[in-house]
Amino acid sequence: MLSLGRKNNRDLLTPLEAELAPRGRGVARLHRQPVWRSAGRLADLPRWTGSAAALGFLTLTIGYGIVIGGHGRIVSDTLLSAAGFGIEAVKLSGQREINEFQILEALEIHEGTSLALFDAAGARERLNDMAWVKNASVMKFYPSTLQIKIEERVPYALWQRGDLVSIVNESGDVITDDVDGRYANLLLVVNHGAQRRAVEINKALENVPELRPRVRAAFLISDRRWDLQLENGISIRLPEQNIDAALADLVKMDDENGLLSRDIVAIDMRLGDRVTVRLSDEAAEERNIMTGGEGGSKKRERDT
């Protein structure tokens, strides 16, 4: 009798044939489990997942290219500026000798520069490298303001050696060689070493305010004493010691007989017990005529 039940075909095969027979060939296609389902629950992901993954990959590729190409900072600055963190205002204070353009040039602010990525330390270093800047501070005030405070060096005197003239501070340090008419009221000190001793002669002249505006320059002689050159050309040879007393005597003589307004070329005050006045050539000739003397040879003196 034939059984109506389904027989397993593998039962009709020899052991060798059963071993070599393909497995699963008899399983219906509809009942097979997809291969990718065993890897996880990918089938449950939304349909737009693939598009999002492609877009993310494209974004990463573009970002990598920007970084490799050295444009990361520019792109970041632009994005931050667009978000409201761009530098829109720069507040300056403390500057007198430096103009605003020089400061802005040192800050290196360009269109699209963001406050968040602005290198404040680098800007402060560039400002401190400027000739007139003693100290600078750079502060960020979010979202879009940069505040700059400048402490400048104070010009004290002009220093000349040879044909070169510089502006120096009170300590004698050179500030800059760029000198213009704005500094004409500063005392001009001449010769090497004069810049370090400018305070000495300046303070002495402060005690005789009647004389100070008439002094054009102060020459340091042999690194020991000073000669003053007045605006009318008269040279005043000061002693090595007791400068204040010598200047006070000079002002007194000028008040009494108008000494500094006479036709003379030099006043020698190096000796404490006497003052020697040297007339100009014209005045000396006129004096010889009036006194009946002969215009002998003039004595040449050497500064010591």
Mean local confidence (pLDDT), 218-224? 96
Q: What percent of the chain has pLDDT over 90?
A: 53
pLDDT band for 200, please (50, 70, 90 cuts).
very high
d(CA 14, CA 196): 117
d(CA 117, CA 131): 27
pLDDT tens profile 54-80: 556 555 554 544 445 444 455 555 655
d(CA 39, CA 277): 114
pLDDT tens profile 132-179: 999 999 999 988 899 999 999 999 999 999 999 999 999 999 999 999
Task: Count other C-beta atoms under 10 Å from residue 231's C-beta.
Answer: 10
CATH number of this structure's domain 72-150: 3.10.20.310
Calculate the average pLDDT of the chain: 79
Whether 93 and 150 have beta carbons less than 8 Å apart is answered as yes
pLDDT tens profile 226-273: 999 999 999 999 999 999 999 999 999 999 999 998 889 999 999 988
Model-level pTM greater than 0.95?
A: no
Pairing type for strands 225-230 and 174-176 reads unpaired
d(CA 223, CA 228): 14
Angle at 280 between CA 277 and CA 284, to 5 degrees: 85
Whether 128 and 112 have beta carbons less than 8 Å apart is answered as no
- Report whether pLDDT(222) > 50: yes
Considering the chain, tell me which residue range(s) the CATH 3.10.20.310 domain(s) occupy.
72-150
R_g over Cα of the chain:
46
**Which listed CATH number (3.40.50.970, 3.40.190.10, 3.40.50.11690, 3.30.1360.200) goes with 157-291?**
3.40.50.11690
Strand order in the sheet with 133-141: 89-93, 145-152, 133-141
| Farthest-apart Cα atoms in the chain, separation | 179
Q: What are phi and psi of 65, to 5 degrees?
A: -65, -40
What residue type is 91 in one-letter code?
K
Mean pLDDT lowest among 20-24, 105-109, 234-238: 20-24
Mean pLDDT lowest among 13-22, 60-69, 104-113: 60-69
Q: Between 106 and 75, name the one with better pLDDT.
A: 106
Mean local confidence (pLDDT), 194-202? 97
Mean local confidence (pLDDT), 181-189? 95
Considering the chain, tell me which residue range(s) the CATH 3.40.50.11690 domain(s) occupy.
157-291
User: What letter would DSSP give residue 194?
Assistant: G
Whether 175 and 168 have beta carbons less than 8 Å apart is answered as yes
Closest Cα to residue 211, out of 170, 183, 252, 240?
Answer: 252
| CA 154, 157, 161, 162 torsion-angle sign | positive
The percent helix, strand, coil of the chain (3-state, each to 5) is 40, 20, 40
- Report whether pLDDT(196) > 90: yes
